[in-house]
Amino acid sequence: MLIRVEDLSFRYSRAKDYSLKNINLKVRKGEFLGILGASGSGKSTLCLTFNGIIPHSIKGEFRGDVYVKGYNTKETSVAKLSTIVGLVLQNPDSQLFNMTVEEEVAFGLENLGLDPEEIRRRMKWALRITGLEGLENEFPPNLSGGQKQRLAIASVLAMKPEILVLDEPTSQLDPLGKEQVLSLVTLLNKEQGITIILVEHNTEYLLSFADRVIVLDKGEIILEGKPKQVFEEVDVLVRLGIRVPASVRIAHEFKKRGILEKAALNEKELINRLKTLIKI
């Protein structure tokens, strides 16, 4: 197991309630894990435990253990963990601070003390894979939203992490930007074999691409399984305030009326099922 979370509970200093309660979770190498939950359910808090920001930089009451590639995060520095786990946040603007695209990607690498040749190689690779080749000398604030977020991903990728944790990376982007970032995530998982942990409100995407999905509610994992299993629980998801894909909401209505057997259908599957029913 690449990640093992054991009986993890966390309470922010001065907070009354625990943000995470007794979480147990394993993530396999190469797996694509989706995390769902309403705002305040603990998604972001959980993401911050994978590279040690919790408990090292953000203080609070931390119980249980998180192991990343065998390292106990409590006993391992954030700098060390960052070479294994890359973290990408919601707002790309808050993650970019260099004058050019190239410097942005090189920044983390220089801090690793790599030789210039290796830095160049990794930088070229990261920019190519994120589709940012040709923009090396651009001023990051001048990029589009999708480009900025891909640059944030490129900077993290250049560190060659085995795991990429993305916390709502598309929520600030326009539809084109969302599509660019999500296709990139798919590519990194399927072609580069990078383990993905993704918090995403675009649940259509998780339904079609995630290997496994967990649902958090008030700091606890309350559903876990393949997307096809989790999205069958439409009533639970709706009650929790989770966005359910339109195709699933429609299928759910037909399932309630005994017309369809399954609710967890993506757009294509739903259209095909309904087409045979209305015979067009």
Contact status: 171 vs other proteins (CB under 8 A): yes
DSSP assigned state of 93: G
Using the minimum distance from each CB to other proteins, give the nearer residue, 136 or 267: 267
Taking the complex as a whole, the smallest distance from the CB of residue 145 to other proteins amounts, in Å, to 4
Using the minimum distance from each CB to other proteins, give the nearer residue, 10 or 27: 10
Strand partners, 39: none
Taking the complex as a whole, the smallest distance from the CB of residue 89 to other proteins amounts, in Å, to 12
Contact status: 141 vs other proteins (CB under 8 A): no
Residue from 57, 70, 116, 176 binding other proteins (CB under 8 A):
176
d(CA 159, CA 149): 16
Other residues' Cβ atoms within 10 Å of the Cβ of residue 270 = 22
Contact status: 243 vs other proteins (CB under 8 A): yes
Yes or no: say if 138 and 101 are a contact pair by the CB < 8 Å rule: yes
d(CA 186, CA 192): 9
Q: Between residue 30 and residue 69, which ones bind other proteins under the rule CB under 8 A?
A: 37-40
Contact status: 274 vs other proteins (CB under 8 A): yes
Other residues' Cβ atoms within 10 Å of the Cβ of residue 192 = 11
d(CA 27, CA 2): 6
Residue from 7, 15, 118, 128 binding other proteins (CB under 8 A):
15
d(CA 178, CA 157): 18
Binding stretches for other proteins (CB under 8 A): 15, 37-40, 90-91, 144-146, 168, 171-177, 179, 201, 204, 238, 240-247, 249-250, 253-254, 257, 259, 267, 270-271, 274-275, 277-278, 280
